Structure 1
Amino acid sequence: MNAVTTHRSAEEIGRTEVGPRPLPELGEQRAAADLSSVDTVLDNGLRVIAVRRSSVPVVELRLRIPFADPADTSVGSAHAARAEVLANTVLTGTATRTRVDIDTELALVGGELDAVVDPERLALSGNALVSGFDTLLDVLRDVLTGATHPADEVERERARLVERIRLARSQPNVIAREALQRHLYGDHPYAKEMPEADEVEVVTRDEVVALHAAAVLPRGSVLVVVGDVEPADAVRAVDGALGSWTGEGEAVALRPLPAVEGGDVAFVHRAGAVQSQIRLAGRGLDRTDPRYSALQIANLIFGGFFSSRLVENIREDKGYTYSARSHPEFTPGGAALMIDADTASEVTAAALLETRYELGRLSLVSPTEAEVDTARRYAIGSLLTATSSQGGLASFLVNLAGLGLGIEWFTGHPERLAGVTVEQVAEVALEFFAPSAFTGVVVGDADVLAPRLRALGGVALS
């Protein structure tokens, strides 16, 4: 006869006869301050940040090329369409390598290269074994200086893009994001994160080749290299491979965005929708502002992680949503605070009400010492976790470089977070988290949502 196995709950395991078991104290968390690095600018204007991290014999690189429309036109520009086709064909062939050659050479050194584009930048990211670093750089040089964007590849990638764009524009999250960007930024080029399908359909190879020659430029761009290689050696290798990458002028950065101002939430009708998308935005702070650390902790307390007030309220307590979060979004010349939640139609107005309530509560009632300490530990821990790998550190540093910052900001940030006080968090919460400081959009079925949203107020219904 088998013995009966009794399973104890987590609560039972965590208790003794005299009470709960005490949790062990967390050790001090701090970024590695002893990372050897070089931050320099080559003769061709390319900024290179090289960092040694020798955890595995791999090297990661991230190249950021500012890629705004040189004409700085409105969202109706064809630049976005041409840029998308360029990013999708830049690795498909050069004067000396076919697409297969590029893939094969990288695979033989355990490497890869990818390219993506958005309204701000063209980004190329890759990695390889340290023994294949020179090969990785040579392939990168070839595609930067000699990509031919073959006509058949342009035609093939253009067709794929059109299909993906049409599919994406049917997705609720994409509809909500595009509506929010238009509401916040009007016809600023940043608001157009995805070109129209009909704009992509008419892009020609000649236009892509011309854009590459005019806009893929080293001056104003930044390359981050992280791996098991001495920084000075990495810089010499980059200079040897990419020193011949030249061009007239400087890569074009987007002009600053208008500041986000609070106001009514715009309503976007989506007939027959059984779910709604709530997207709110308020003014934030960029990483160079001395109050940023306090704002980061305030955001975490509000909705920035699973134990936040917003999640506890509209997910855990009331069950209005499966996913709710708030997060900073760094934009050209500034930053915004974003709040996202998807809800069933019948509880959308209630979820918006509770979101406003939590904004007001944070801005008017000082958080507790325990809340601040928990958020602080989460902020430091998540930073160190996200940058613990070579690829994670490279991606983080290239984003910092886009703001004009370097590795010193990264290594010093845990100490800044550790110094934030409850009073500082309360001060930024009052200024940045007041419900009146936010605007945004709600996407859903007007036939279901309009009566409740009209009664709630603060929503512009047509």
Structure 2
Amino acid sequence: MTTATHRSAEQIGRTPAGPRPLPALGVTREVPLPDVTGTTLANGLRVLVARRASVPMVELRLRVPFADPAPGSGHPAIAELLSETLLTATATRDRVAIDDELAAVGADLGASVDPERLLIAGSGLADGLATILDVLADVLTGATHPDHEVARERERLVERIAVARAQPRTIAREALQRVRFGDHPITAEMPTAEAVTAVTAERVRATHAASLVPRGSTLTLVGDVDPAAAVAAVERALGSWTSDRTALELSAPPYPVPGELVLVHRPGSVQSQLRLSGPAVPRDDPAYAALQLANLVFGGYFSSRWMENIREDKGYTYGAHSGPEFIPGGAVLGVDTDVASDVTAAALLETRYELGRLCAVPPTAEEIDAARSYAVGSLLISLDNQGGLASTIAGLASVGLDLDWLRGHPARLAAVTVDEVADAALRFFAPTGFSGVVVGDAEVIGPRVRALGGIAP
């Protein structure tokens, strides 16, 4: 009997002649995108339909701009309870009837909300589209938000908020948002428990009537459907959803101002959260492709410089990530990682070092080519299924773009030069261009972190 001997990854990757050669990268395929049929109904609802017949399903995304009309009025708490109770009852269906009708066509619908929009998303059998739209129309025009359902969800939401606000990632996110955007409504990603407790079912129903409206909203359908027939089905089902109001878009927040990092004290924490942020550019900016490649080289994927440094070489973290976050009117750049308390200062030092190194030692042609291949490949993967395509179409539509932008993006990535990436690195990744937060036990991490400088008093 032969006993198997464990071989390390390095041993597996080598032959007697040396390291195993890596296969050459294949030819990048074109992004396989269907045509999109777009129309605006008489009630102001924009409808986008794309046929993708890979499976006999249809994906649905209804995006309703849902900004706070009067900051300080408790809208974030009301919006959360509205989304939680939207699918619980209508004038003609209770929760069980809604679930049963959707289940009969293999469908599901769910609602979520954030400071920008309310989203109703789901999927089902393509043959059941008429049923899905009928239920959706009933919910949009006749949801009753029963008192007992609002009361139950109010209790649940208060509990979830209490749990979430004890989590270090939530603490770091809320602190970062305040540093970046001050008191702009975009920071209200989670309401307070007190605000939720004050919400009544009457206020939920009033907000539904006033804010959940078709004009300015967009419905996206992707699947095994005929576009013309799908648009006609939407018009039949949702034509009676009307309002003289227009859905309210969130205003553009101020761009982050470079400055010192804020040290947020979390007593007893054994980990620290590093969150840095600076200005970026949106997708339609001429510099976006170069920014995307510079970001990948820095920290946008596993083979990035920052990841190689603080994870593979130093062992400070399990993961580190950087990338653009799109906001109304633009984008911001985020640099995020979590580390043990005893290496917080060291991790911050290496992070600043890699930011500076990207400016002083710009990405090489080899690094850029690897990042370019990853960018196109990940784009292909994200669009490989109906759900991913539906979300992408809806997301692009919300910022005034369409699939033509996506079709042209691989060519834009291919055209980016080494010098353009170097310019993007200098413009967006200079350490002095960032602000942000360090969350942790200030008594443990404070002395060494402050010794590095750049920390607010």
TM-score > 0.5, shorter chain as reference: yes
- State TM-score, norm by structure 1: 0.96
User: Matched residues in 2 for 1:13 and 1:238: separation?
Assistant: 56
In structure 2, the partner of 1:58 is: 57
For the 8 Å contact 2:61–2:220, the answer to whether it is kept is yes
Question: How many residues are aligned here?
Answer: 457
Would you say 1:115 and 2:111 are equivalent positions? Answer: yes
The residue type paired with residue 55 of structure 1 is S
CA displacement, residues 225-260 of structure 1 (integer Å, 9 cap, x when unaligned): 110112222212112211211112210001101011
Would you say 1:370 and 2:366 are equivalent positions? Answer: yes
Q: Secondary structure at the residue paired with 2:319? A: strand
Q: Secondary structure at the residue paired with 1:460? A: coil
CA displacement, residues 1-47 of structure 1 (integer Å, 9 cap, x when unaligned): x2455666655555555554433332233443551321222221111
CA displacement, residues 378-412 of structure 1 (integer Å, 9 cap, x when unaligned): 11111111111100111111111111111212222
For the 8 Å contact 1:215–1:251, the answer to whether it is kept is yes
User: Matched residues in 2 for 1:459 and 1:189: separation?
Assistant: 26
The 3 A distance-change label for structure 1 pair 304 and 86 is: same
The 3 A distance-change label for structure 1 pair 17 and 390 is: same
The residue type paired with residue 125 of structure 1 is A
For the 8 Å contact 1:265–1:439, the answer to whether it is kept is yes
The residue type paired with residue 351 of structure 1 is A
For the 8 Å contact 1:30–1:414, the answer to whether it is kept is no
In structure 2, the partner of 1:229 is: 225
The 3 A distance-change label for structure 1 pair 394 and 31 is: farther
CA displacement, residues 171-226 of structure 1 (integer Å, 9 cap, x when unaligned): 10000100111111111000110000010011011100000000001111111111
User: Matched residues in 1 for 2:425 and 2:393: separation?
Assistant: 28
Would you say 1:343 and 2:339 are equivalent positions? Answer: yes
Would you say 1:165 and 2:164 are equivalent positions? Answer: no
The residue type paired with residue 39 of structure 2 is T
The 3 A distance-change label for structure 1 pair 187 and 14 is: closer
Would you say 1:29 and 2:28 are equivalent positions? Answer: yes
Which of 239, 242, 250 pairs up with 1:243? 239
Q: Secondary structure at the residue paired with 1:337? A: strand
User: Matched residues in 1 for 2:285 and 2:300: separation?
Assistant: 19
CA displacement, residues 68-99 of structure 1 (integer Å, 9 cap, x when unaligned): 0122x2xx440000000000000000011101
User: Matched residues in 1 for 2:327 and 2:41: separation?
Assistant: 27
User: Matched residues in 1 for 2:2 and 2:346: separation?
Assistant: 51
Q: Secondary structure at the residue paired with 1:122? A: strand
User: Matched residues in 2 for 1:173 and 1:13: separation?
Assistant: 37
In structure 2, the partner of 1:104 is: 100
Greater shift, 21-30 or 218-227, is seen at 21-30
Which of 449, 454, 459 pairs up with 2:450? 454
The 3 A distance-change label for structure 1 pair 19 and 271 is: closer
User: Matched residues in 1 for 2:172 and 2:11: separation?
Assistant: 45
For the 8 Å contact 2:33–2:403, the answer to whether it is kept is no
User: Matched residues in 2 for 1:30 and 1:61: separation?
Assistant: 27
In structure 2, the partner of 1:208 is: 204
Q: Secondary structure at the residue paired with 1:69? A: coil
The residue type paired with residue 301 of structure 1 is V
User: Shift of residue 49 of structure 1?
Assistant: 1.3
CA displacement, residues 33-65 of structure 1 (integer Å, 9 cap, x when unaligned): 551321222221111111111110000011110
The 3 A distance-change label for structure 1 pair 46 and 108 is: same
The 3 A distance-change label for structure 1 pair 344 and 221 is: same
Greater shift, 12-21 or 378-387, is seen at 12-21
Q: 4+ runs of 1 displaced by more than 3 Å?
A: 3-22, 30-34
For the 8 Å contact 1:29–1:414, the answer to whether it is kept is no
User: Matched residues in 1 for 2:9 and 2:363: separation?
Assistant: 29
Would you say 1:388 and 2:384 are equivalent positions? Answer: yes
The residue type paired with residue 43 of structure 1 is A
For the 8 Å contact 2:44–2:214, the answer to whether it is kept is yes
For the 8 Å contact 1:257–1:332, the answer to whether it is kept is yes
Q: Secondary structure at the residue paired with 1:250? A: coil
Q: Secondary structure at the residue paired with 1:374? A: helix
Greater shift, 111-120 or 237-246, is seen at 237-246
Which of 296, 303, 318 pairs up with 2:292? 296
User: Matched residues in 2 for 1:176 and 1:46: separation?
Assistant: 37
CA RMSD of aligned residues (A): 1.5
User: Matched residues in 1 for 2:314 and 2:91: separation?
Assistant: 61
Which of 129, 133, 136 pairs up with 2:132? 136
User: Matched residues in 2 for 1:259 and 1:335: separation?
Assistant: 8
What stretches of structure 1 of length at least 5 have no aligned partner?
A: none
In structure 2, the partner of 1:272 is: 268
In structure 1, the partner of 2:84 is: 88
Greater shift, 33-42 or 334-343, is seen at 33-42
Would you say 1:415 and 2:411 are equivalent positions? Answer: yes
User: Matched residues in 2 for 1:159 and 1:97: separation?
Assistant: 24
User: Matched residues in 2 for 1:180 and 1:244: separation?
Assistant: 43
Q: Secondary structure at the residue paired with 1:232? A: helix
CA displacement, residues 92-126 of structure 1 (integer Å, 9 cap, x when unaligned): 00011101111111111111000000000000001
The residue type paired with residue 228 of structure 1 is D
User: Matched residues in 1 for 2:11 and 2:98: separation?
Assistant: 58
User: Matched residues in 2 for 1:230 and 1:325: separation?
Assistant: 40
- State TM-score, norm by structure 2: 0.97
User: Matched residues in 2 for 1:77 and 1:303: separation?
Assistant: 39
Q: Secondary structure at the residue paired with 2:318? A: strand
Q: Secondary structure at the residue paired with 2:189? A: coil
CA displacement, residues 265-314 of structure 1 (integer Å, 9 cap, x when unaligned): 01111111111111110001111101111101111111111111111111
Q: Secondary structure at the residue paired with 1:322? A: coil
User: Matched residues in 1 for 2:166 and 2:17: separation?
Assistant: 58
Q: Secondary structure at the residue paired with 2:444? A: helix
For the 8 Å contact 1:39–1:49, the answer to whether it is kept is yes
